[in-house]
Amino acid sequence: MKTLMVFDFDHTVVDDNSDTWVISCLPGQTLPDSVENSYRKGHWTEFMGRVMKYIGDQDISPDRVRSVMETIPFTAGMKDLLAFISEHKSTIDCIVISDSNTLFIDWILQASGLQAAVDQVFSNPAKVNELGYMEVHGYHSHDCDKCPVNMCKRKVLELYLSERSDGGVKYERLFYVGDGGNDLCPSFCLRGHDVVMPRKGFTLEKLLARLEGQKDDASVKAKVIAWSSATEILEELKASM
């Protein structure tokens, strides 16, 4: 029986938003209003596609973007937590489910030397195309009305757990670590002995607090433990082993 660690990425693994961090590669570190004002609620990935095109139009190379992405800070204690997970791969599986994109996440993890901690990354697929431009596409389509159009993290997690179960892997405990509103939906598929860990002061913590005392069908069954440093997550993980 193994433990599964599930991480969001932005403001969870890293202490900022990787999608907005990329803007620091631009002259003046700002987007023109025509791009900045094109965002529509729930359609962030489409917006990021326009940001990536604009970056390419400025003749900023993917290598330059990568060097900027590699400077994003990790959340306090997170590198120690990921190093611990790397050393215990026989008993701990670890995945990232993020509404960022695969290119940024892979670059950041590789630069940290900690990519061995993470078994799989589920995020919006991104690549450098034949013109040398970065491009990004939505992860999947779904029918969940609580989530952004391009990703329902609950569906991603449920499919992963189903496939692992079919392969004979059962998880004794699951830790879900996140911060944002889109981390609430996957929290509903956790069991009573699982743990959802919202970052203190962020949206997920507030949403979970509002659900306390709700009827069974509207409640999160998992134990809720808020964190401000990944050292606290590591302590909970060690205590469960």
Residues 146 and 62 in one domain: no
Distance CA 63, CA 54 (A): 16
Q: What is the mean pLDDT of residues 197-209?
A: 96
pTM of the model: 0.95
The domain of 152 spans 2-16+73-124+138-240
Using the predicted structure, report yes or no on whether residue 1 has a pLDDT greater than 90: no
Are 170 and 234 in the same domain?
Answer: yes
H helices of the chain, in order, are 18-21, 33-36, 44-57, 62-69, 78-87, 102-112, 153-166, 184-187, 203-211, 230-240
Q: Are strands 223-224 and 195-198 parallel, antiparallel or unpaired?
A: parallel
The DSSP letter of residue 10 is B
> For 59-114, what is each residue's pLDDT tens digit?
999 999 999 999 999 999 999 999 999 999 999 999 999 999 999 999 999 999 99
The pLDDT > 90 percentage for the chain reads 91
Position 7 scores a pLDDT of: 98
8, 19, 179, 194: the catalytic one is 8
Q: Catalytic residue at 8?
A: yes
Same domain, 195 and 207: yes
Q: Please tell me what DSSP assigns to residue 72.
A: P
- Residue 119 a catalytic site member: no
Q: Looking at the structure, do residues 173 and 206 belong to the same domain, yes or no? A: yes
- pLDDT tops 80 at residue 212: no
Check which CATH number belongs to the domain holding 153 and give it.
Answer: 3.40.50.1000
Q: What is the pLDDT of residue 132?
A: 94
Specify whether 104 is located in the same domain as 212.
yes
Tens digits of residue pLDDT in 118-144: 999 999 999 999 999 999 999 999 999
Residue 131 in domain: no
Are 148 and 102 in the same domain?
Answer: yes
Domain final residue pick, 69, 91, 110:
69
